[in-house]
Structure 1
């Protein structure tokens, strides 16, 4: 995986419980939010499950529509969409 930094703003390291919300809320998958910025995040999936290119991530009191930028096994880099 290419480690070149391409983000507009650096992300802060965090460790928050998160939930991926798929299929209009019918599927919810546990994950960990590993780092975050106002524009995106890195998450770690806690279960093997195929994910689409766009889905919602629930963490803290936020629900963000996300698009997958990169994948590496159980890790994913996400960009928030408006």
Structure 2
């Protein structure tokens, strides 16, 4: 099931108290500006260029270059590697992906 998460903050709440993350989660996350990739769908019959906005060992956030409804699973071709992914969420041309098997990227 896909979902969109929104986070709101009260004006009197300090920003450091809103979201606390463990150091391990922060270490697993890395930014990937200006990284291009390709999504592969329909058993390899359909390919589309995407921009990778964020990339970690287990997840990726992408921007599809044209608006399309993504299937529940697809493959992401990035850095000469083909990763099987589950689409966790999609909003317009943006989507969050979870790699099926966590591997170093």
TM-score (norm 2): 0.68
Q: Distance in 2 between matches of 1:80 and 1:5?
A: 24
Alignment partner of 2:67 out of 20, 34, 48: 48
Of Structure 1 and Structure 2, which has the larger fraction of its residues in helix?
A: 2
Q: Is the 8 A contact 1:9 1:37 kept in 2?
A: no
Q: Bigger radius of gyration, 1 or 2? A: 2
Q: Distance in 1 between matches of 2:46 and 2:20?
A: 32
SS in 1 for 2:25: coil
- May I ask how many residue pairs the two structures share in their alignment? 81
Runs of 4+ with >6 A deviation: none
Q: Is the 8 A contact 1:65 1:81 kept in 2?
A: yes
Of Structure 1 and Structure 2, which has the larger fraction of its residues in strand?
A: 1
CA RMSD of aligned residues (A): 2.0
SS in 1 for 2:89: strand
Q: Distance in 2 between matches of 1:21 and 1:12?
A: 23
Match of residue 9 from structure 1: 25
User: Unaligned regions of 5+ residues in structure 2, if any?
Assistant: 8-18
User: Unaligned regions of 5+ residues in structure 1, if any?
Assistant: none
TM-score (norm 1): 0.85
| Aligned-residue offset at 1:5 | 8.0
Q: Distance in 1 between matches of 2:48 and 2:42?
A: 11
